[in-house]
Amino acid sequence: MSLSRSSLNRVPGRLAYNSISLYSKGGTTIDTDLVYSQEEINAAGLGKIDNRDKEAYDEITITPDGRMTTALAAVLWPYTNPTIGAGIFPSTDVPVVVHGNDSSLDTHPAAAVVQMPQMIFHPMKTLVGQMKLLCLRSTSTGAVNPWSTAGSLRTILTMRRRSPSMDWNEVS
């Protein structure tokens, strides 16, 4: 799967995660970054001969618009009463979907909050700061799907808006 930088989302919009919707704060974007690492393969006397893919994952950063309900608080701060040694990813994948204002739809099959937002008690600012989600490959029957599985890390769909000047009677 090859992704160009232009296909990565940096748009204002809505993030749907764990049964709630978070909207990006005015003047900010929802940033989706692909983190991709490789390991060098070296041979004695030859040096570096190849690279092997080590891992790829996405990080989504959003500054919520500041609305607050108990359901939003439970999603923004999921680790208020943690179990020591427990993982942050549940046994079943929790997807996250970024709905961009540019009609893009970016789906990640498995996500978890890795940076909870700070509370900002200021009369002129929104209540919460920036948060970050880590998106890993999907799992099936307890095993991580291989790189060759289509959509195992993300699925990107870009819808085109109809041009207001287009005459649909002329389309054949």
For 34-52, how does the pLDDT look when each residue is reduced to its tens digit (9 = 90+)?
888 888 999 988 899 998 8
Q: Are 56 and 37 in contact (CB under 8 A)?
A: yes
39 domain-assigned = yes
**Lowest mean per-residue pLDDT among 9-13, 66-70, 121-125, 139-143:** 139-143
If one counts the domains in the chain, the total is 1
How many Å apart are CA 70 and CA 149, to the nearest integer?
37
- The pLDDT value recorded for residue 29 is 87
Q: How distant, in Å, are the alpha carbons of 29, 82, 103, 134 from that of 77?
A: 21, 11, 29, 15
pLDDT in tens, 65-83: 988 899 999 999 998 888 8
- The pLDDT value recorded for residue 1 is 41
pLDDT band at 91 (very low <50, low <70, confident <90, very high): confident
19 domain-assigned = yes
Indicate the Cα dihedral angle 6, 12, 16, 21, nearest 10°. 180
Is 60's pLDDT higher than 90? yes
144 domain-assigned = yes
* CATH assignment of the domain containing 48: 2.30.110
114 domain-assigned = yes
107 domain-assigned = yes
More confident site: 98 or 169: 98
Q: Are 62 and 24 in contact (CB under 8 A)?
A: yes
27 domain-assigned = yes
12 domain-assigned = yes
What is the domain range of residue 17?
5-80+88-159
pTM summary value: 0.78
166 domain-assigned = no
Q: Are 69 and 77 in contact (CB under 8 A)?
A: no
